[in-house]
Chain A
Amino acid sequence: MSATAAGPPPRPPRAEPSWDRDGSGLGRVLADKLAGVARGDREAFAGLYDATAPKLFGIVLRIVRDRQIAEDVVQDAYLKIWENASRYSPEAGHPLSWMISISRNRAIDIVRRRGEVQMPVTDDGPEWEATIAEPRDREAEFIDADRLSHCLEGLEATQRRCFVDAYLEGFSREELAERYERPVNTIKTWLHRSANTLRTCLGER
């Protein structure tokens, strides 16, 4: 066990303009910690956890809607981060994006499987919602959110909501179809069309 357990309480990550740019930014801090983790530095790993766990836990909880499973998923994600830190490539994006992707992947795997194999949903029920702290977590925003937001505005409003719901809530096509009262194929078309529009927009500098 690390000797750092008595450190300050975890803080949510801070915003970072363009993470690879110079500055006081979170991106650089996380990238440095990841480099430490890649060398097997447990202190760096603890620091990485403290800086990012509330963020990742929030994201995962939103998708799996069960605190116990969310804990499982987050623990699992951090173990993968520990193992794969050396494979993080700064060119591929913000270190937090990389960590978010690992966590979301796990969460999505679980909810897809739960939906298909009838995994029993345990205890917590809707209680997870009550645990949510602040309505909005401005500190965790990336500067690039502006660009994404701008591009999202190019989408038709309903299709935009559908796209964002898919990403944040982890809904399946079928769940989206039910929610938006459209056939599954329409949902697919929406998502693909939205992606095309976004891709064009995001590619423009």
Chain B
Amino acid sequence: MTTGSPPHPREADAIEFVLGTLSTAERSEFERILEGDAALRQVVSFWEDQLSPLTARVPSVRPPERLRGALMAALPSAGAGLFRTERSGGDAGSAEIIMLRRSRAAWRSATAVAGLLAASLAGIIVLDSLQGIRPSSRLVAVVNRSGELPALIVRVDPRAGTVQVRALAAETPAGHSLELWSIVGSGAPRSLGILAAGAARVPVPAADRRRLDGATLAVTVEPQGGSPTGGPTGAVVYSGKLVPEPR
């Protein structure tokens, strides 16, 4: 941006977008406009770059070491397939992290079908126990789609015996449901329940409880109310696996 250039007609929105004061709806609308407006993207870049020195006023805080390990383990490896996950460094680490891997191709095909958008899904799956998982620390995974919001945050708290699936921006195609599955080894997927609006308590099959450690988790798009067959029928939109954090 140069001196004296007239402001972009959406300059006011751009500054509020960068500051962060737009509402969620306004942010979404602005991002939509942004995609098709290169001049507006320049305005946003200008403000982002110019204002970032303000962060010098914020003290650095060292994140926990486990974050680094989780992050490196979450990097897609070349040729990673949908359910391909690696168990890295399987020593007795203190913390386990669920890595849910996004499946981009599958997500695209799902969104092609998708109407939009039931944003505030939240499901809580309460387990009686989580045997087989070291009760040392909480497990967490952020599942996101490329270039967009984190879609799901999955937390496993062995001490409380809960698995919490918090959907931040998961889009459920109209007339469909998102269903959560566990896959142990090469076994058939077992449903852990529907990611429904509101807090849902979903019993997990007893046989699966002790085997959650190392299980692959996957989320599929199913007909309303869940798969009619007992197995996944729709596109896998997320998948991932419980892995111990590498040390």
Contacts and interface: CB of A to CB of B under 8 A. Distances in A.
Interface of A: 1-2, 5, 9-10, 12, 40, 42, 45-46, 49-50, 53-55, 57-59, 61-63, 68-76, 78-80, 82-84, 92-94, 96-98, 100-101, 104, 106, 108-113, 116-117, 119, 131-138, 140-142, 144-145, 148-149, 163-164, 166-168, 170-173, 176, 187-188, 191-192, 195-196, 198-200, 202-205
A131 B64 CA distance: 11
Interface residues of B, number: 66
Contact of B27 (A70, A101, A112, A145): A112
Contact of A104 (B20, B119, B147): B20
B71 A78 contact: yes
B63 A100 contact: no
A75 B56 CA distance: 21
Interface stretch (B4-12, B182-190, B206-214, B219-227): B4-12
B58 A62 contact: yes
B228 interface: no
B56 A53 contact: no
A167 B54 contact: yes
Contacts, number: 218
Nearest to B89: A1
B72 A133 contact: no
Contacts of B72: 1-2, 5, 42, 45-46
B54 A164 contact: yes
Contacts of A42: 72, 75
A145 B52 CA distance: 8
B108 interface: no
A101 B48 contact: yes
B21 interface: yes
B52 A100 contact: yes
Listed from nearest, the 5 A-B pairs whose CB atoms lie closest are: A93-B49, A145-B53, A54-B60, A108-B20, A97-B52
A157 B146 CA distance: 40
Given A94-B52, A97-B49, A172-B21, A133 B59 contact: yes
Contacts of B47: 195
6 contacts: A40-B78, A53-B63, A79-B144, A80-B144, A97-B52, A203-B4
Given A72-B140, A93-B48, A173 B60 contact: no
B88 A1 contact: yes
User: Taking each of B55, B70, B146, B153, which has the highest tally of chain A beta carbons within 10 Å of its own beta carbon?
Assistant: B55
A116 B7 CA distance: 31
